[in-house]
Amino acid sequence: MTEAPPRILPVIDRDSEAYWTWGREGRLAIHRCGDCEYYVHPPVPFCPQCESRKVAPEAVSGRGRVVTFTVNHKAWVPGLPVPYVLALVSIDEQDDVRIPCNIVDCATEDVTFDMAVEVVFEPSGDLWIPLFRPVQS
């Protein structure tokens, strides 16, 4: 397999920094309300459930399930290895927190709806990119 082109990185700010950097320690950071425990994603320092401002990043289990996915077959740029899987994964802690990702360590034809997955991180530039793979344990 040829090497994939470099991943395009997101602009990060004070709200999204933990999400894209805590992977260095193997942790997936999702903002959570310190008062009502609701997870707020994308990260905003305000809880839409209880109006608390005590919302801060917290490590979650990194386990989730595939809400939906697509197998991409088109080489959008030269050298892009295909096929690959783009998915939305919801975290086990809260169903309405959905994370875009590639599913890795899994044949594209083996990815299914509701598949149990776990996070792995890939370093890229100064960030740690969350990816998911089938649960191995």
Partner 1 sequence: MIRFAEKNTAISGVGMSDVSRGATRSALALTVDAALEAIADAGLTRADIDGIATWPGERADGSGFSPVGCAALQDALRLEVNWYAGGGEAPGQYGAVFNAIGAIAAGLCRNVLIFRTMYEATARKTAYANSLLREGQRQAGPFSWYAPYYTYAAALQQALFFNLYVHKSGITPEQVGQIAVNQRRNAALNPKAIYKTPISLDDYLASPIIATPLRLYDCDVPIDGAAAIIVSRMDVARGLRNQPIRIEAIGSSMRYRNSWTQLAELDTQAQPRVAEMMWGRTDLKPADVDIAQLYDGFSFHTINWLENFGFCERYGAKDFIEGGRRIALDGDLPVNTGGGALSGGRLHAYGAVHEACTQLWGRAGARQVKGDPRICATSTSGGPLAGAMLLVRD
Which parts of this chain interact with partner 1 (CB under 8 A)?
4-11, 16, 41-42, 67-74, 76-78, 80, 84, 86-88, 96-102, 113, 124, 127, 129
Q: Which is nearer to partner 1, 1 or 78 (CB)?
A: 78
Q: Which is nearer to partner 1, 100 or 137 (CB)?
A: 100
Strand, helix or coil at 19?
helix
Q: Which is nearer to partner 1, 58 or 85 (CB)?
A: 85
What is the smallest separation between the CB atom of 68 and partner 1, expressed in angstroms? 4
Map tokens 């991180």 to a residue: 121
What is the smallest separation between the CB atom of 46 and partner 1, expressed in angstroms? 14
> What string of DSSP letters covers 63-76?
EEEEEEEEEE----
Q: Please answer whether residues 112 and 103 qualify as being in contact, where contact means their C-beta atoms are separated by less than 8 angstroms.
A: no
Strand, helix or coil at 77?
coil
